[in-house]
Amino acid sequence: MHLVARLREDLDTVRSRDPAARGRVETALVYSGLHAVWAHRVTSRLWRSGLTPRLLGARAWARVLSQLTRSLTGVEIHPGARLGARLFIDHGMGVVIGETAVVGDDCTIFHGVTLGGKGRGGALGRRHPTLGDGVMIGAGAAVLGGVTVGSGSVIGANAVVTRDVPPGSIAVGVPAVSHPEL
């Protein structure tokens, strides 16, 4: 997708999911989650590139830039994480997305969410979660380890997910228990 089209899509995503978003200019200026996603696009490309600047390798520069972004936005997204289209990080502060995390298209993540690792990784070196398309994760939730959250699922606020969540389910509690969506 062309850069300008991607920027418009990102802005429209925020405006469609947050009733407080008033216009493209204001949204572009004040949404820290949006800024973190934009910065991740840069750091991710650098992380995956074969370019090697003289002073440090490309991966080191990607990590430096991601940490600078964390300082500015309160959102930490490892450059190795893979983010789908139309990701909306609402409020942003305290969101952490680990190196091997995969986030599907059209997901919504609220503040204080952790997509974190559990140990050194399981099968295929996956240390972090995989989210299907259209997943919503409530504020303060933690999804830990190489688990999969199926498409269309909802993770309740402050839930701690350590097992796979089937598609179209609601997971709540500590530890989270999945229930078919009502």
Domain spans of the chain, in order of start: 3-180
Whole-number pLDDT of residue 54: 57
Amino acid identity, residue 171? Answer: A
Q: Between these two residues, 92 and 142, which has the higher pLDDT value?
A: 142
Q: Any idea which fold 3-180 has?
A: UDP N-Acetylglucosamine Acyltransferase; domain 1 (2.160.10)
Whether 156 contacts 173, CB under 8 Å: yes
- Residue 111: both structure tokens together: 């503040």
Residue 119 gets the label, from left (phi > 0), alpha (psi -120 to 50) or beta, of left
Whether 129 contacts 149, CB under 8 Å: yes
Q: What is the pLDDT of residues 56-108, one digit of tens each?
A: 688 888 999 999 999 999 999 999 999 999 999 999 899 999 999 999 999 99
Amino acid identity, residue 16? Answer: S
Residue in the structure block whose two tokens are 């179209």: 168
- Give the distance from CA 169 to its chain's centroid: 19
